[in-house]
Amino acid sequence: MALKVSLLVSACVLVATSAFAQSQEIRRGPAPAWAVASSPMPVPETATGAVFFRRQDAEIHLSDKGQAQYLGYRIRILQPSALQLGNISIAWDPAAGAPIVHGIKVFRDEQVIDVLKDATFEILRREDQLEAAKLDGMLTAVLRVPDLRVGDELEVELTTFQRNPALGSNQSGLLLLGPSPSPGRYRLGLSWDEGHKPDLKMTADMTAAMQNSERAVEFRFDNPPLQSAPTDAPIRYQWQRVVEYSDFHDWSALSRHFAPLYATASVLAPDSSLKREAARLRAAQASPLDRAGAALKLVQQNVRYIYVGLNGGNLVPVSADETWKRRYGDCKGKTVLLLALLRELGIDAEAVLVNSSGVDDGFDQRLPIPQLFDHVLVRAHIDGKVYWLDGTLPPVASPSPQPVLPVKWVLPLTAQGADLERLEWRPAATPEQISLFEIDARAGFDKPSRIVSTEIVRGLPALEQQVQFSSVSEGQLLELFRQNATGGVWQTIDDVKWRYDQKAGASILTISGTGTMDWDDDGPGERSLALPGGGFNPPERRARADHKDAPYYTKPEYTCHVTTVRLPTSTQPNQWSSEKSYDTRIFGRNYHRAWELRDGAIRMIRGSRVEQPEIDSATAQRDNGRIAAFDNSMGWIFYRPSTRKSAVGDGETVPATYDFDWTASDVPCVSAPKN
């Protein structure tokens, strides 16, 4: 359905569910007095598409009992593909109260069929994310409307409930109308009992449609137009047709509200075994940073991750002692466990809420809504520096100066209340991915070359590789690559080595073997070869018909390709040339390529780094005019026996794949940023 009532259901932190109670059955009853059903819109004779929404009403009501959500709709089935809408599913938290179904009817010609007269809901307890180690305790009711036909009109009305004692009297959430609703009539509403009026904030398109009353706001749309976010704009520009509401008046109030939950859960019992663990760590490690790293590894390695949404667990963290006893926990449980250990070690730290999915751009423009966050980290202060600790990551992930996750905005949880903080962004100092490719062609153009390929990966992809590759033996890894990579460049794969460099925070995969290089025959005695990773595709033009003032966005990244070719010993250095070097900045990205011929080998390095994720329209227009001159040549090297002077590079110094530590933090993949 196009209309959504959303609380941004989160993966780990802030979703309102509780323990099983008696409310495990669907109830029947009339619609609540505060719910207003729209009059059905006539179906046009020219209606197209799968369905026509004669009406769809979604309203949230706030009271002492929490939130109640009414949904009512009447739709005309126009095509067979829409008959699946007759499979009605309702999910709810049993502790908040069972759903109330007000009616399910089918209108066919002059008939009105009461579906619930002969059909009933089937109640399921489905943990549909067990494979992701998540338990939420939700119930699901399923009903399949019998004998539903094309041309029928299906009407459904129901109310569900949400309540979480951990929030107290505070309520918050979102109302939104999707960008591409089906044709028809839509109504969004928010109402409240006396004394429960929340703060409101909405996008301009909702302000224009708003209708006020004493204790309610509503928004009506007939055949709402399709909406699209500005092309290539930052994520905050996708925030359209949204109404925010919250009882938290500022971010500090939200921080103060949740801080005691973590403070209480991290207090250890006098006889807690964690006190002995902390004493052991203190004795084994000399520096505070090493102690913090050991505590983090203890939590990562000895407490397996399971998201537990039962017993209020997705708002209230399980105590540190209980998490240690269970030896499993979610991000909240692991966080309080870390907080408890760090406190015993004399290290100052706090819990910090974040959004882990990379969609937190523009959070400073939002109302304080807990459900915007889906993860919690620990931020420690050690020797005057800040370190981030995430107990849910693999045990090779150490305390880091920046979160491993793509985080822009964070909310520290403190007793006095903290404001939303923006993490400063800088261009990456070290590539997230380095591809090293060494070709030993000294035996000659027509002989197999010895090849060594190394991939160095950092960040989340590196941790994913660590989990993947650490679970297989060296023999299995070799056989895996022989089966899947042999062919193309590789004729044989003789060895595959993988390791995780914890100091560099990098996954390193090296493949060695032989292959036949695709040397082009350019004429009598002349050869050429396009080196792997040697060229760039030209950037795409940045332009849009509307939203011309919105900035253009490029996802930050930094990649590097390094190729070394040991030249055939039958050739001379002066007989070789290459494509040009360049150092270009366009659309906020640094494009760099450099060459050098030294010690019988041509060395090439090609790097790309985003140094300005957002550029204004004037910069985009200027750089559009520069695309035609962009050098998109492949990394060609040329052997010309008649040449008397080498033309490789422009005087640069380029390290070979084998004479530089490419796991270092200062690899020469791009030139320094220009002010």
Same fold, 252-422 and 433-448+516-639: no
Fold of domain 3-246: Immunoglobulin-like (2.60.40)
What is the pLDDT, as a whole number, of residue 547? 87
Record the pTM: 0.90
Q: Which residues pair with 220 in a beta bridge?
A: 187
More reliable by pLDDT, 132 or 223: 223
Residue with tokens 């220009």: 674
Compute φ and ψ for 523, nearest 5 degrees: 135, 180
More reliable by pLDDT, 22 or 654: 654
- Residue 631, judged by CB atoms within 10 A of its CB (0-12, 13-18, 19+), counts as middle
Measured CA to CA, the distance from residue 244 to residue 221 in angstroms comes to 18
Measured CA to CA, the distance from residue 500 to residue 456 in angstroms comes to 9
164-193: per-residue pLDDT in tens? 777 888 999 999 999 999 999 999 999 999
Measured CA to CA, the distance from residue 528 to residue 518 in angstroms comes to 9
Whether 448 contacts 515, CB under 8 Å: yes
Fold of domain 252-422: C8orf32 fold (3.10.620)
Whether 438 contacts 451, CB under 8 Å: yes
Percent of the chain with pLDDT over 70: 93
What is the pLDDT, as a whole number, of residue 169? 86
Fold of domain 433-448+516-639: Jelly Rolls (2.60.120)
Cα–Cα–Cα angle for 407, 409, 410, nearest 5°?
Answer: 95
288-320: per-residue pLDDT in tens? 999 999 999 999 999 999 866 544 446 789 999
Q: For the chain, give every domain's residue range.
A: 3-246, 252-422, 433-448+516-639
Question: Angle, nearest 10°, between helix axes 331-344 and 288-302?
Answer: 150
Output the six-digit token pair for 636: 């060609």
Residues 6+ apart with CB under 8 A from 561: 434, 435, 437, 532, 533, 534, 604, 605, 606, 607
Measured CA to CA, the distance from residue 370 to residue 168 in angstroms comes to 13
Does 442 score more than 50 pLDDT? Answer: yes
How confident is residue 10, by pLDDT bands cut at 50, 70 and 90?
very low
What is the pLDDT, as a whole number, of residue 130? 43
